[in-house]
Structure 1
Amino acid sequence: MRKTQADIVANQARMTRRALFLGGAQLAFMGVLGLRMRHLQVDQADEFRLLAEENRINIRLIPPARGEIFDRNGRTLAVNEPSYRITIVREDAGDVDAVIAKLSNLVELDATALNRAMTEMKRSPPFLPVTVAERISWEEMSRVAVNAPALPGITPEVGLSRRYLHDGDFAHVIGYVGPVSDYDLSKIEDPDQLLLIPRFQIGKVGIEAKREESLRGKAGTKRVEVNAVGRVMRELDRREGLAGADMQLTVDQKLQTYTQARLGEESAAAVVMDVKTGDILSINSSPTFDPNLFVRGISVADYSKLTENDHRPLATKSVQGTYPPGSTFKMITALAALEEGLIDSEDTFYCPGHLEVSNRKFHCWKRGGHGNVNFETALRESCDVYFYEIALKVGIEKISAMARRLGLGVRHNIPMSAVAQGLAPTMDWKLRNRDAAWLPGDTVNASIGQGFVLASPLQLAVMTARLASGLQLAPRLVKSVDGVEQPVRGLSPLGVNENHLRLVRKSMFAVSNHRRGTAYSSRIIEDEFRLAGKTGTSQVRNITAAEREAGVTKNEDLPWNRRDHALFVNFAPYDDPKIAVCVVVEHGGGGSTAAAPIARDITLQALYDGDPPLEAYPTKDREKIRLQQARLKRDYPQLRNSGRDRA
């Protein structure tokens, strides 16, 4: 049918409306699309740019340089040295086995180290670098760098590794570092991200462990651009971390080295303290070990040698070892009685060689006894019966209180591992720990440093320093941190009658300088440096009545581990005390024969700041000392090297 003009107009009107509707819809869609594109390209540009960059940019941690350690005079003890290593990032490597196979054609890979690296990769986040070879040569480093395009995820790096310059001389003080273990992480509630880097090293024992956070520093970061296979193309930027704090110890390197050499292979310990400040000038345990072995990863054979040695080279005997102090404890018993007004300098007791208490005989070391003795004579000749008598008068509570005042039975706050508290026993202690009442015989035993009494060489050095100074000196091991001096503590008075302290010091002087003193053979001849000391011998076995009747077996006739411990404490110079010394020789026999000569030599070395003149020794000892000094320098080359001074 032919359409009329009206129909045509109507159709055109309808088409116009549809066109307008469709056009409007298209415009609306384009508008919405434009707004969405604007939202994505402008409003969310930073977010999508970051998402895009994460595909080609990695952010990696930069381990900080560990703080270095110096002695009191600035001589370097622990440093960081460059170490070449190769790391792999699992997510960048792709086929790890194939990459390792290619790498092994360029560098000889240790099977043990490689197995450890593979284990670390499995338990670590895929983006963390894992060390597959370390301490490689420069030539090996270069070969890997040249072949870098064929080794995705592999990076040759120059890192820092810890080195201890004086081998074993400071092993028990500074300790050593080693890779972070699962056990280490389990002790930290919120571990630093640095600690999650496989093979990252932290302090394991000693100052390295106790001052870990200060020495470690803070990590830096770097952004690197990687290609499609994870190969680093370039470094975009970096933010350096904060190096660990440098630490200066109170210890004198030369004295520490000499003392270690003088102790030799004895199972022994020695501590030297500054009587004016409490600074520890030397603190040694013997035998020692090379801490560098642990940094590099100690072998099973080397570790077995250390653990199977009956002299226990890994033990820090100077602070961890606790021993019956023997007769070095007698000054404490005497001061307790003097302070209570129970005795004076002229009171005498008769020593027939034993004292019977509760139907039990307590013997003096001198079988025939010392006869009538006053305080000075008793201390000078170490008469046991005299101290038995006064201990029964004063009682264990007062004796233990005096022991704690002088530093025994107290855990001293120094940054070394396993610092022992020792034991100054009381009646309550025995009831709680032994479920038994305190007996008079326990007091008698305690009076001469036997029975339950235990003390470390550090505590005995503190005791001696406090006796010499009359101050509550506290031991200090860290002198400064990043140049900031650490506080000296304990300069307030000890709170003991000065006249009583003078009597004790005078009697200790007689021990070393009177012909009948137990340490007379280890005296110092030089008037300016004369010492005052006390010998000690502590039993490690029971002596039966039958053996005592037949004659006590001499130490030299016993197996080594059944011999008595030998102890000696002293301060010097007598007229103006500067240092206090304690030496303990495990199973050394007698304090006068084993410990006192070592302590005398260390004392002179400290006072002269080097080898003393032979004239400082008794005439009969001078040739022996001359040969000893020559032998030590021959056998211990480090004695000829005073150490590298800090620049």
Structure 2
Amino acid sequence: MKRNIKDSEDSLRRITRRAAIVGGLKLAFIGLLAGRMRQLQVEDADQYRLLAEENRINVRLLAPARGLMFDRNGTLLADNAQNYSVTIVREDTDDVEATIEQLRALIPLDEAQLQRALREMRRRSPFVPVTLADGLTWKEFSIVAVNAPALPGLYPEVGLLRRYPLGADFAHTIGYVGRVTERDLANQEDRDPLLQMPQFKIGKFGAEAKLEDILRGKAGSRRIEVNALGRVMRELGREEGQRGASVQMTMDANLQNYVQARLGDESASAVVMDVETGDLVAAVSSPSYDPNKFVDGISQSDFDLLRDNDHRPLHNKIAQGLYPPGSTFKMVTLLAALEAGLITPEERIQCNGVLRVGGRRAHCWKRAGHGPVDLKKSLVESCDVYYYDISMRVGIEKIAEMAHKLGLGVAHDVDMTSISSGLIPNKDWKFANRGEEWVIGDTVNASIGQGFVLSSPLQLAVMTARLATGRTIMPRMVKSVDGVEQPIENGPDMGLNPLHLQWVREAMYDVNNGRRGTARASRIMTEEHKWAGKTGTSQVRNITPAERARGVFRNADLPWNRRDHALYVGFAPFDAPKYAISVVVEHGGGGSSAAAPVARDIMLQALHGGLPPLDAYPSDQRREIEEMQNALPLRPPGPSSSGRTRA
């Protein structure tokens, strides 16, 4: 059937309308595309160009050189040695194991370090370099470099590694650096991006840790071109970082080495302090260890040897070691009584070897007693009963106040980590910490540096410096930073009666030089170097009534760890004090026999700037002293040394 003309016209109109609509939609879509293209290519071109550039160029941090550390005379204590290493990029080698075996055939590999590297490779992307061998010698490095073309994926690298040239001498003061750990990141208040860098090292202990902010320096950066996978293609620019500040310490490397050698294998410590400036010219904890082993991670076997040693080489006895000060505390009790006006130098107290206190018997170290004892004799012969008596008059509060004034019971602000405050007890302390009331027996024990009283060798050196000068001497370990001298923060006069101080000093002089002085055997013979001091012996065990009845065991008859601690404090020269010293020998026995001779040798070394002449010693000791000094394992003295040499 044929369609009429009208139907055909209607159909054509509908087709034309649909075509117009579709055509319009196409034109609108093309317009939108054109507009969007214009926006992307013209209006937003700068933004997308920047995004593309940021994807193509990465900025990476460059670790700065750590600041150097020197002794007071310019001897290098911590530097940054060139470190030769070999890294591997996993994607650049077909067979990692085969490549490692090729390297092993050329140079020796540390198995522990190799295992760490293999674990790190499994965690990281294949194009990230991982250190296989570190601390290579120049010869080893050269062998690898020459064979590098035949070792696909291995790359010889040159960097910096912290090094401690004097080894064990400064382990407890300078400390060491180590790798950043998760614990370090959690404890850091600052969020320095350097801490996120692989293999970056920070101060872990000692001055390295305390001075971290000034030693670390500021990061540099380099701009590198990377491909879509993040692989480095080329370096586009570099800005070097800011080196850490150089620090000059107050210690004398030659004296430090002598003290370390003189203490030998003893579990001991010694502090030598300049009484005018507060400078610690020597501070030694013995036995020591090599801090270089900690820089890149100490082996488990080496660490076990240090950890399990009963002489505790890892423990900083200088500022963390706490000991009953024994008779070295008697100057505190004496000054407290003098300042309170409760005794005079002439007053005599009868010592029969024992004093009844609150229903108990308090014994003097001399079983037969000392007879009538005045102020001077009480220190010279170290009579305990004298101090029991005066302490009951003066009371613990005044004794504690004097102890704090002299620097005991205080965490001194020196640039070491973990400074102990020690313990100077009083009534409030005992009630708060023991839940008990203070009793008179506690005061009697404290009067001779026993009972609850604890102090560190650093605190005892500060106490002695303050006794020698009458001023509030403050210890310091940093002399200058980048050549800028650091302030000496010594306080004013302590406000003690000068006459009282003089009486105490004169009694300390006779401890060393008097006919019956407990340290007479350790006197100095040269007139210009005469010194004053006080011995101390502190018990580490209780002596039972039964043991007293049959006779107290000699220290030599006891196991090492049950023997008394030996202590000595002193200053020299007596007429114009320059140095104060404290020596503690753990379980050494008597202060006069174990600590005083060591202190005398160290003091003479400090005063002479080297080995002293033999006429500084009593004539009957000179041959023995010469043999001992010649046998010491001393490092050859630096240019700052003077005085007698072994030649």
Contact 1:84 1:135 in 2 (8 A): yes
| Superposition deviation, residue 75 in structure 1 | 1.1
Distance (whole Å) between structure 2 residues aligned to residue 532 and residue 639 of structure 1: 31
What's 1:546 paired with?
546
Distance in 1, Cα, partners of 2:640 & 2:277: 24
Matches within 5 A, 1:544-623: 544-623=544-623
Secondary structure class of the residue paired with 1:242: coil
Equivalence for 1:193: 193
Cα drift, residue 549 of structure 1: 1.6
Residues 1:257 and 2:260 aligned together: no
User: CA distance change for structure 1 residues 643 and 315 in 2, over 3 Å: closer, same or farther?
Assistant: farther
Cross-structure match for 1:348: 348
C-alpha spacing 1:47/1:130, structure 2 compared with 1 (3 Å): farther
**Match of residue 517 from structure 2:** 517
Q: What is the one-letter code of the residue matched to 1:167?
A: G
Change (3 A) 1:56 1:105: farther
1:504 is the counterpart of 2:504: yes
Aligned-partner Cα distance in 1 for 2:270–2:255: 11
Is 1:415 matched up with 2:411?
A: no
Counterpart amino acid of 1:368?
Answer: A
Structure 1 residues 105-114 or 256-265, which shifts more? Answer: 105-114
Which residue does 1:78 correspond to in 2? 78
1:431 alignment partner, SS class: helix
Match of 2:630 in 1: 630
Aligned pairs for 1:382-421 (under 5 A) are: 382-421=382-421
Tell me which residue corresponds to 1:370: 370
Spell out, residue by residue over 1:251-299, the C-alpha distance to the aligned partner (whole angstroms, 9 max, x if none).
1111111111111111000000000011111000001111111113322
Indicate yes or no: 2:107 matched with 1:104.
Answer: no
CA contact (8 A) 2:91 2:126 kept: no
Unaligned ranges ≥5, structure 2: 1-11, 642-647
* Partners of 2:362 and 2:128 in 1: CA distance: 68
8 A Cα contact 2:179 2:296, kept in partner: no
| Residues 443-487 of structure 1 deviation map (CA, whole Å, 9 limit, x = unaligned) | 111000011100000000000000001111111011112222222
Distance 2:222 2:315 in 1: 42
Contact in 1 for aligned 2:273/2:280 (Cα 8 Å): yes
Structure 2 partner of 1:138? 141
Change (3 A) 1:643 1:244: farther
1:290-328 Cα offsets, whole Å, 9 max, x none, are: 111111332222112111111111111111100000000
Query: C-alpha separation between the residues in 1 aligned to 2:577 and 2:613?
Result: 20
Structure 1 residue ranges without an equivalent (≥5): 1-10
Letter in 1 for 2:465: A
Structure 1 residues 375 and 182, CA gap change in structure 2 (3 angstroms) = same
| 8 Å CA contact retained: 1:274, 1:579 | yes
Contact 1:306 1:313 in 2 (8 A): yes
- Report the counterpart of residue 325 of structure 2 in structure 1: 325
Question: Who is 2:288 aligned against?
Answer: 288
Q: Is the 8 A contact 1:66 1:215 kept in 2?
A: yes
| Residue type at the aligned position of 1:398 | K
SS of 1:574 mapped into structure 2:
coil
Give the letter aligned to residue 146 of structure 1. P
Shift, 1:360, TM fit: 1.0
Contact 2:91 2:127 in 1 (8 A): no
Q: What aligned pairs does 1:2-13 form with structure 2 within 5 A after superposition?
A: none
Q: CA deviation at 1:57?
A: 3.7
Taking the aligned partners of 1:297 and 1:385, their CA distance within structure 2 comes to: 53
Match of 2:274 in 1: 274
Does structure 1 retain, via aligned residues, the 8 Å contact 2:66–2:217?
yes
SS state at 1:168 partner: helix
Residue 107 of structure 1 aligns to which amino acid in structure 2? L
Alpha-carbon separation, structure 2, partners of 1:583 and 1:181: 36
Output the CA distance in 1 between the equivalents of 2:419 and 2:562: 25
Q: Distance in 2 between matches of 1:477 and 1:243?
A: 22
Q: 1:354 to 1:234 in 2, by over 3 A?
A: same
1:8 paired residue number: none
- How many Å separate the matches in 2 of 1:31 and 1:112? 67
After TM superposition, give the deviation of residue 45 of structure 1 in Å. 3.8
The match for 1:7 is none
Task: Report if aligned partners of 2:531, 2:570 keep a CA contact under 8 Å in 1.
Answer: yes
Report percent identity of matched pairs: 58
Partner Cα separation in structure 1 for residue 128 and residue 184 of structure 2: 19
**Residues 38, 74 of structure 1: alpha-carbon distance in 2 compared, 3 angstrom cutoff:** farther
Could you tell me which amino acid in structure 1 is paired with residue 188 of structure 2?
I
Superposition deviation, residue 246 in structure 1: 1.1
Q: Which residue does the alignment assign to 1:462?
A: 462
Alignment-mate amino acid for residue 142 of structure 1: A
Letter of the structure 2 residue corresponding to residue 387 of structure 1: Y
The match for 1:6 is none
Q: Which residue of 2 aligns with 1:69?
A: 69
Matches within 5 A, 1:414-493: 414-493=414-493
1:164 aligns with 2:164: yes
CA 1:61/1:107 → structure 2, altered by over 3 Å: closer, same or farther? Answer: farther
Contact 2:478/2:486 (<8 A) preserved: yes
Deviation digits for residues 59-112 of structure 1 (CA, Å, limit 9, x no counterpart): 3221110111111111110000111224467xxx5599x563464254235443
Q: 1:551 to 1:336 in 2, by over 3 A?
A: same
- Determine the C-alpha separation between the residues in 1 that align with 2:447 and 2:127: 64
Task: Give 1:116 deviation, angstroms.
Answer: 2.1
> Secondary structure, in 3 states, of the residue corresponding to 2:596?
helix
- The worse-fitting range, judged by mean Cα deviation, of 445-454 and 193-202 is 193-202
How far residue 31 of structure 1 moved from its aligned partner, in angstroms, is 6.8
C-alpha distance in structure 2 between counterparts of 1:623 and 1:207, whole Å:
40
**Contact 1:130 1:198 (C-alpha < 8 Å) held by counterparts:** no
Q: Which residue of 1 aligns with 2:645?
A: none
Written as runs of structure 1 = structure 2, the 5 A alignment for 1:192-271 is 192-226=192-226, 232-271=232-271
For the residue of structure 1 that corresponds to 2:301, the secondary structure is: helix
CA distance change for structure 1 residues 642 and 123 in 2, over 3 Å: closer, same or farther?
A: farther
Number of aligned residues: 626
Do the aligned residues in 2 keep the contact of 1:84 with 1:141 (CA within 8 Å)?
Answer: no
- Measured in 1, the distance between the counterparts of 2:187 and 2:124 equals 18
How far 1:199 moved relative to its partner? 2.3
* In structure 2, distance between residues paired with 1:424 and 1:454: 7
Report the Cα offset of residue 40 of structure 1: 2.8
Matched position secondary structure for 1:584 = strand
Distance (whole Å) between structure 2 residues aligned to residue 141 and residue 31 of structure 1? 64
- What is the CA distance between 1:42 and its match in structure 2? 4.5
Moved more, 209-218 or 334-343: 209-218
Question: TM-score with structure 1 length normalisation?
Answer: 0.90
Deviation, structure 1 residue 29? 6.9
Secondary structure at the aligned position of 2:167 is classed as coil
When residues 396 and 122 of structure 1 are mapped into structure 2, their CA distance, relative to the original with a 3 A threshold, is farther
Structure-to-structure mapping, 1:284-323, within 5 angstroms: 284-323=284-323
The alpha-carbon deviation at position 520 of structure 1 amounts to 0.6
1:417 partner letter: T
CA contact (8 A) 1:172 1:284 kept: yes
Rounded to whole Å, the distance in 1 between the matches of 2:455 and 2:492 is 23
Amino acid in structure 2 at the alignment position of 1:183: R
Maintained 8 Å contact 2:73/2:640: no
What is the SS of the residue equivalent to 1:169? helix
TM-score (norm 2): 0.90
The one-letter code of the counterpart of 1:100 is V
Superposed CA RMSD: 3.0
> Residue deviations 1:324-372, cap 9 Å, x none?
0000000000000000000111111011111111121111111111111
Contact (CA 8 Å) 2:87, 2:132: kept in 1 or not? Answer: yes
Quick check: 1:84–1:159 contact (8 Å CA) kept in 2? yes
Which residue does 1:338 correspond to in 2? 338
Change (3 A) 1:448 1:185: same
